[in-house]
Amino acid sequence: MTDRDERKSKILGLVAEFNKKGIAVAEDTRFAQDLEWDSLTVMDFVAAVEDEFDIIITMNRAAEIETVGSLIDAVGELQGQ
């Protein structure tokens, strides 16, 4: 399993915890349009991702992350910093 696969598996697990509507999730799933999360849910999800990977995702950075796939890549970049 590559590092990316491992990150993907952890992130999909976290998405599932917040995916109350049971929407099918893939790498191209969009957080705002597809998962229909409100701002509080987004914040809690971001906090959960930060805790899992011990990173900070600023609001500036979060605004650029639209899909599950882009989050997997962004977490990788942030861990590498």
Which of the 8 DSSP states describes residue 31?
Answer: T
Q: How far apart are CA 25 and CA 18, in angstroms?
A: 12
Residue number, 10 or 61, with CB nearest to another protein? 61
According to the binding rule CB under 8 A, does residue 44 interact with another protein?
yes
Is 51 part of the annotated catalytic residue set? no
Choices 6-14, 22-30, 56-64, 66-74 (CB under 8 A): range interacting with another protein? 56-64
| Residue tagged active-site, from 5, 28, 34, 38 | 38
According to the binding rule CB under 8 A, does residue 33 interact with another protein?
no
Q: How far apart are CA 58 and CA 45, in angstroms?
A: 13
Which of 60, 62, 57 lies closest to 81, judged by CA? 57
